[in-house]
A and B are shown apart, each in its own frame.
Chain A
Amino acid sequence: MARVRRDVGRHSEGGGRVNGETEIHPGLDDYLARVRAALADLPAEELAEVLEDIEPHVTEVFGEPGDPVDRLGSPEDYAAELRAAGGYPPVEGPPPVSEHHGRGRFVFWAIGLTALAFFLAAFATRGRTEPLILILLCLPVYGPALWLVLAGRVNRTDLTELPEYRRGKRMGDSAVALLQPEAIAYLRSLRPAWGLARLIVLAVLFLVALDRGPGLAVFTLIVAGGLVWLAGRVKTNRRLLAITLPANAFVIGAALGLVIGATDLGRGGPVYVNQGYVGGGLTYGGRPLSNVYAVGADGRPIEEFYLYDETGTPITVDYDSCTRIDRSTFRNRFPLPRVTYVNGACEMRTDMPFVPLPPGGGSSSPTVSTTASPTVSGSVPPTASTPPSASVTAPPTAPVTPTK
């Protein structure tokens, strides 16, 4: 407050005025940015008004002789002085007294931790039940927290008044502010689709889990049922967010885990997996394979190759064909012909259903076709009357062009 300005008389009106177009003052932008940051908790409208006042002022002071920081103080001091004189609430001051402060903090962290556990467990599960132990470990804190919320022992303000909540919200808000308004509107428009998308994710996880983790399959069903049951209710009862938050974290974790799990298959080498089911006994990571493709070091598909195991025994599999007689034929020549249906006519194809990247040239592109949840259809054995799945009938969307 007690900052003496001795040079004020020396400048006539306009004497120290800045020509913003030609004069650039080192440190000015930084100074203003720091003042802005120190006042970031003010309501946006008020902050804009304040900045409209002080930007010309600080700019002008920077254009005058002498060290502007000597006169104005550090940006943080300047902001603090303005805050005090302007009657704005002190920053990070003592948190408003809340009788349930301790409970609020407990609930905040317990639910946050639980949501994280749900996310990580779902992400790591790969169809197995064991990672769910993470969720189990959180139950001792989640249970009481959930009870506090649902029984009304902790209220919304007990959470929103927490400094950690406000800090998190501020970070979230500034992250959102970085987005274009169009992007925000687009994300908003996706919100109804999320209700459906998360059920699809859970359905996929359920099918994957059927093979490997019955416990996970049951848990997935519970989560799906819970989300459906809560979907309408949470709008009127915000307390139920204590349940939907971890459940949604589970879905997001599961979705990421499934995508990355499918990507890993492609990263292992030039072994690519086609959709459909042959049942010849080839499995990869516990999952039945329907076909195997090989790509040479130059990225060209190897059109014909034979597989043997470590003893030299041919790895023979039976394969699907248009004439069902061939079903009994086992062979170790790959890739197996793919049965496709074009205009109702059965066709056998040996080309690749995807465009491979040259080995080591990246791993994202070829995984696109493998991420199309091969695990789902792979676990459903077709019968003779099984209609070909969409991805089998679809001709390759891009010609197989070897990259040099």
Chain B
Amino acid sequence: MDTSQLLKGVLDLAVLAVLRNEDGYGYDVLRRLRGGGMEEVGDASVYGTLRRLYRAGCLTSYVVPSDEGPHRKYYGLNESGRARLVESEDAWRAFAGTLDDILKGAAA
């Protein structure tokens, strides 16, 4: 099925999560998401999400020159981003658990 609508709601959380341990530039983030199984995430959606989280004050950014092409802008979590990640993660787990229960109840 088309999971793009489901994806939309959790992309913020997913982007914050893949930046938890290591900063990354846009394509890094995209690769980590797809590598983690989010095959359907759109390229531009990831970049839009990064910019939105940055504007919301959750991310820091810095530019690293590259010898092999255009320089790259890295994004990383700041304190606010980490707090948001914890918050969102809790909310997601609670939500997923609830939905899981509902699905189980309906199946039973």
Chain A positions within 8 Å of B, measured between CB atoms, are 1-6, 8-9, 14, 17-20, 46, 49-50, 52-57, 59-61, 71-73, 77-79, 81-88
What are the residues of chain A within 8 A of B70 when measuring CB–CB? 20, 55-56, 59
Of the four ranges (under 10, 10 to 19, 20 to 34, 35 or more), the interface on chain B belongs to 35 or more
Question: Quick check: B26 and A17 within 8 Å, CB to CB?
Answer: no
What are the residues of chain A within 8 A of B45 when measuring CB–CB? 1, 81-82, 84-85
Give the distance in Å from the alpha carbon of A5 to the alpha carbon of B26 in the complex. 15
What are the residues of chain B within 8 A of A87 when measuring CB–CB? 48, 52, 55
Instruction: Using known A-B contacts A19-B68, A79-B44, determine if residue A85 contacts B39 with beta carbons closer than 8 Å.
Output: no
Give the distance in Å from the alpha carbon of A61 to the alpha carbon of B31 in the complex. 12
A14, closest chain B residue (CB): B68
Q: Verify if B78 is at the interface (C-beta below 8 Å from A).
A: no
What are 21 A-B pairs with beta-carbon distances under 8 A? A1-B45, A2-B3, A18-B68, A18-B69, A19-B69, A20-B69, A53-B73, A56-B66, A56-B69, A56-B72, A57-B30, A57-B47, A59-B69, A59-B70, A71-B43, A73-B42, A82-B48, A82-B51, A84-B45, A85-B45, A88-B48
Give the distance in Å from the alpha carbon of A325 to the alpha carbon of B63 in the complex. 87
What are the residues of chain B within 8 A of A85 when measuring CB–CB? 8, 11, 42, 44-49, 52
What are the residues of chain A within 8 A of B69 when measuring CB–CB? 17-20, 56, 59-60
Q: Which A-B residue pairs are the 3 nearest by beta carbons?
A: A85-B48, A86-B48, A81-B44
Give the distance in Å from the alpha carbon of A146 to the alpha carbon of B30 in the complex. 56
What are the residues of chain A within 8 A of B73 when measuring CB–CB? 49, 52-53
Give the distance in Å from the alpha carbon of A21 to the alpha carbon of B49 in the complex. 30
Instruction: Using known A-B contacts A2-B42, A78-B43, determine if residue A83 contacts B48 with beta carbons closer than 8 Å.
Output: yes
What are the residues of chain B within 8 A of A54 when measuring CB–CB? 26, 44, 47
B31, closest chain A residue (CB): A8
What are the residues of chain B within 8 A of A79 when measuring CB–CB? 44
Q: A5-B34, A56-B70 are in contact. List 7 more A-B contacts (CB 8 A).
A: A1-B45, A3-B40, A5-B43, A20-B69, A79-B44, A85-B46, A86-B48
Query: What per-residue 1/0 map shows which CB atoms of B26-44 lie under 8 Å from chain A?
Result: 1100110011000110111
* B26, B47, B71: the one within 8 Å of A86 (CB): B47
Query: What per-residue 1/0 map shows which CB atoms of B83-106 lie under 8 Å from chain A?
Result: 000000000000000000000000
Candidate in A3, A71, A83 with the most chain B CB atoms within 10 angstroms: A3
What are the residues of chain A within 8 A of B80 when measuring CB–CB? none
Chain B positions within 8 Å of A, measured between CB atoms, are 2-4, 7-8, 11, 25-27, 30-31, 34-35, 39-40, 42-52, 54-55, 63, 66, 68-73
A11, closest chain B residue (CB): B31
* A1 CB → nearest B CB, Å: 4
* B70 CB → nearest A CB, Å: 4
What are the residues of chain A within 8 A of B55 when measuring CB–CB? 46, 87
* A39 CB → nearest B CB, Å: 10
* A247 CB → nearest B CB, Å: 43
Give the distance in Å from the alpha carbon of A4 to the alpha carbon of B38 in the complex. 9
Question: Quick check: A57 and B43 within 8 Å, CB to CB?
Answer: yes
A60, closest chain B residue (CB): B27
Question: Quick check: A78 and B44 within 8 Å, CB to CB?
Answer: yes
Give the distance in Å from the alpha carbon of A17 to the alpha carbon of B71 in the complex. 12
Question: Quick check: A2 and B48 within 8 Å, CB to CB?
Answer: no
* B25, B39, B63: the one within 8 Å of A4 (CB): B39
